[in-house]
Chains A and B, each alone.
Chain A
Amino acid sequence: MTKTRQDLAWQELEIGATLITPGNSCEYKSGDWRSIRPVVDNKKCVRCGTCYIFCPDAAIHETEEGFFEADLYYCKGCGICANECPTQAIEMVEEEE
């Protein structure tokens, strides 16, 4: 786990504050921002991947059966997938916690 900026002492920084851990932002839970969540109806899904390609957060991935599902650790709940889905297979439902 990467230390937060507050815990990081200056001695621990690389020269030039270089980051030597490519893509470590995937540890950050941007899913916390979400107030609505995408729910896929696999009966309507035609497995075209439109939701996958339009997701700005790269949060949607293909499952083994070829369907698509959102990774709620990253999904910010923007609703683009539900809006762009050609078969309206995705519905945004409110988070109730």
Chain B
Amino acid sequence: MNLLSVDTSTEACSAALLSGGDIIERYEVAPQQHAKLVLPMIDRLMSEAELVPAQLDAVIFGRGPGSFTGVRIATALAQGIAMSVDCPVVGVSSLTAIAQGIYRTTQQRHCLALIDARMNQVYKGAYTVADESTGESVMQLVGEEAVLDPQQVRLPTGTTAAHWIAAGSGFQAYHDVLSDLIEEGLSGHAETVYPSARDILLIGKPDFESGLGVDAALAKPVYLRDNVALTEAQRNARNA
């Protein structure tokens, strides 16, 4: 099975390739450079694994939330490759990827992933690993992903703050506003954690294996923030 993954949803740009059971990855923190970096990254991974594009079984992409342009870069790239080699695509949440990265590197089983959404807001998702028995555990979303004011960020009800770690650029940007949360006694925080293609791949692989991959035309970004402009009617109402 050969799976390619990409994530360009935040300041980090990364690509990973699963081939022959091994995952290789390229990862770089390079804001605004994603469109230039990502294809060369993929190209190098493929040469390293001695694969050609037609051998790919699926493209897994970071579908957001995050930078609007960034999530579109990954989406358009997944669409272009998958359409060309006629393979399915799997979209993976960038918030889940952050949580997965925390679990992979620290074994912390409860993660509050926060990405700076600008305009004094964050993208938020709370994640928990339910079952560690399989050895390939994937973080599961608790509740819903949301874009909200940092003041509104809460841990899922009925959980103990001491079990949770907060991670991501949203925590870094709104550290002060999130102080209530910190005082509740989080077990820790990891600020400069970005989604990585390696985690995107780990999360998307079981989806692909259970047939959840979709046609290239259905590869869609998830922005969370959908009101990006006022209609003329809204502007007139506001000025009235």
Is B one of A's binding partners?
A: no
Q: Which residues of B are interface residues toward A (Cβ below 8 A)?
A: none
